[in-house]
Structure 1
Amino acid sequence: MPVLCSSCVDKRAVLKRPKTGHSLCKDCFFWAFEEEVHQTIVAAELFKHGETVGIAASGGKDFTVLAHVMKLLNERYNYGLTLMLLSVDEGITGYRDDSLETVKRNQQQYELPLKIVSYEELYGWTMDAIVRQVGLKNNCTFCGVFRRQALDRGAIMLKVDKICTGHNADDVAETVLMNVLRASEGDGVVPRCKPLKYAYEKEIVLYAYFKKTFLKDLESVRPSSIMDVIHSGENLSVRADVKMPTQGTCARCGYISSQPLCKSCVLLEGLNRGLPKLGIGKHHRL
């Protein structure tokens, strides 16, 4: 006998939610997922009416669902937001060029303005060129630092109030654990917000699949442990007697930095001088 949806008790259930264990039909799952994102936005007061929000556009599943849900909720609940898409072209042949085509299709589908900023435009280097000089071992250091700053610079160009990222519960839980193990850098100049913070990756995949956006193999996860880690991270705080670094600005580019030069400028100096390892590690010297 077919299992009925536990919400509407009318239609046939097509899935069992990983998050709650409830058996739901497609429509009830869509509504539940969207309402939970809405509650995350409202409870944390992520946005104010009239703000301009840049959605970090990667072309991946999380961005695709985020862009769709943000546009839908903005209209459903009259958030009064001006939404834009912001994408970073790292210059990785065969990877970013393909994903940027997906972003462009999304831009047409959602009818939102799109701004693409590139490493080559901002720094004079592509990731392909950086890898040729530094090799594969340390290239993630360059990409992570440059990407964080590139998002800020793109947001400033668009004059957005906040950057909206597609980080899900799995991502946030991993970040919390990594921050416990090592020092973490701040978000950046423009405030970040994560509407999918409490959405499990598995449910994002299900949402996208049933919306016919894409298909991906599902991985088994232990949902409760993911949420426990997130809530633990929210309760962490810095002791009052701990002295934090003074935040200033980079003497070269003006970006936020606790040192005379920001990390991007230090890394660029090493690249431009043919000494790529110069800016890697704590004891770099220019």
Structure 2
Amino acid sequence: MAPALCANCKTERALIKRPKNHAKLCKACFITVFEDEVHHTIISSQLFRLGEKVAIGASGGKDSTVLASVLKTLNERHGYGLELVLLSIDEGIKGYRDDSLETVKRNAVQYDMPLKVVGYDELYGWTMDQVVETIGKKGNCTYCGVFRRQALDRGAKMLGIKHVVTGHNADDVAETVLMNLLRGDLARLSRSTSIVTGDSRSEVKRSKPLKYSYEKEIVLYAHHKRLDYFSTECIYSPEAFRGSARGLIKQLERVRPTAILDIVRSGEDMARLVLGESTSSCACKGQKSAGLAFLEDDIGGCGSQNGRTPGGEMAAMDKQLRENEAHEALEVDIVKAMSENKVGSEKERELPIRSSNGTSRGPARQVLGNCKRCGYMSSQEICQACMLLEGLNKNRAQIQI
């Protein structure tokens, strides 16, 4: 049986079967298509301004390493005019972060980018090793996640940068959607599905250029580009709830390759239902961006047309829903009409939103302010990081006594 030819160039032998849509591509075409899809996401979502200074959240892992490589390539190829800087957070995990930081330092030399390293011990007076020693492995990822998000913003402010890009991929976003759905936290789901977080009230804006890129394709890109990255997983992460969501999504992907992008898009659609919240997604609406040579049958860069479900299934459903809304004014609620005609019967009323503690409340939006202790942006008087630190410091004081 003759070897299959690349679906793009039709000349070279196909070496890669894309996990996203099973298209067969040669090495050169896969790299080009991957970069073009990221460029399409950047342009359609208007992530950057010309000449903007941007910090890349660099951990030394595959995602941030690929992000740095792709942004450097696209910045030079398409003239973004960006000033790129690597920003790395040292959580203080021996045998993991100290090794990965060596990779980041090599990347800084390889990509000719400045590097800034900010440590938990410097910011909070605690390392993650000390946190785990104090509270145990259960729940430690909550501490690390809160500290890390704040550390990225603080590191960016030290550099005078107002935009941080992170290597979150489609798998990461799908996991977050599933986790918040299982927890019933639609407000957080709304924020987490946005490709850009932060607005005019925020001191630092964040974006996810790899939001629609599959994790497996990121690994393939790093392998074929021979990128230098650190592949060991955090020694504390197997205990995290995210690991369970990741396992479920991987099982779904085996049955349906488009499941990851379907979950991402579903999360975006659910986020729009949250009153007073907005979510930003790729603005292409399934259309191809001018000037980019995309494949007609296998692009799916932002989860549009072939990247979601075959045969235009979701497009047909969306059209049907819109038609239903147009005819909604002509419909009559028979049950409601009958109940209104009953003497002494209780009229139908809208149910208020139920809060997490079981009490009913109306919809309310968070008002951003600043933490009274550290000055970091927060919707509460005391930010979550300071609350966690307060508990840790109390534990430390009790142990010393």
TM-score norm. by structure 1 comes to: 0.90
Please say if 1:137 is aligned against 2:151. Answer: no
**What is the one-letter code of the residue matched to 2:266?**
S
Please say if 1:49 is aligned against 2:54. Answer: no
Rg (Cα) greater in structure: 2
Matching residue within 268, 275, 295 for 1:239: 275
Shift of 1:92: 0.4
Shift of 1:200: 0.7
SS in 2 for 1:83: strand
Gaps of 5+ in 1: 278-286
Residue in structure 2 matched with residue 90 of structure 1 by the alignment? 91
Shift of 1:182: 4.1
Shift of 1:179: 2.7
Please say if 1:228 is aligned against 2:231. Answer: no
Q: d(CA) in 2 for partners of 1:79 and 1:98?
A: 32
Residue in structure 2 matched with residue 152 of structure 1 by the alignment? 153
SS in 1 for 2:56: strand
State the Cα deviation string for residues 102-134 of structure 1 (Å, max 9, x = none).
111111100101100000000111111112211
Change (3 A) 1:177 1:276: farther
Please say if 1:64 is aligned against 2:65. Answer: yes
Matching residue within 222, 227, 235 for 1:208: 222
Shift of 1:275: 6.4
Change (3 A) 1:276 1:84: farther
Q: d(CA) in 2 for partners of 1:133 and 1:17?
A: 44
Gaps of 5+ in 2: 192-196, 232-249, 277-361
Shift of 1:276: 9.3
SS in 1 for 2:258: helix
State the Cα deviation string for residues 39-64 of structure 1 (Å, max 9, x = none).
00001001111111110001111111
Q: How does 1:174-189 map to 2 (within 5 A)?
A: 174-180=175-181, 181-183=183-185, 184=188, 189=203
SS in 1 for 2:363: coil
Matching residue within 206, 213, 219 for 1:192: 206
TM-score norm. by structure 2 comes to: 0.65
Total equivalences in the alignment: 275
State the Cα deviation string for residues 241-274 of structure 1 (Å, max 9, x = none).
7212222110011111222111111111222222
**8 Å contact 2:56–2:87 — kept in the other structure?**
yes
**What is the one-letter code of the residue matched to 1:248?**
G
The alignment-based identity, stated in percent, is: 59
SS in 1 for 2:54: strand
Residue in structure 2 matched with residue 268 of structure 1 by the alignment? 389
**What is the one-letter code of the residue matched to 2:267?**
G
Shift of 1:8: 1.0
SS in 1 for 2:395: coil
Q: d(CA) in 2 for partners of 1:149 and 1:182?
A: 24
Change (3 A) 1:276 1:111: farther
RMSD, matched Cα: 2.1
**8 Å contact 2:163–2:206 — kept in the other structure?**
yes
SS in 1 for 2:365: coil
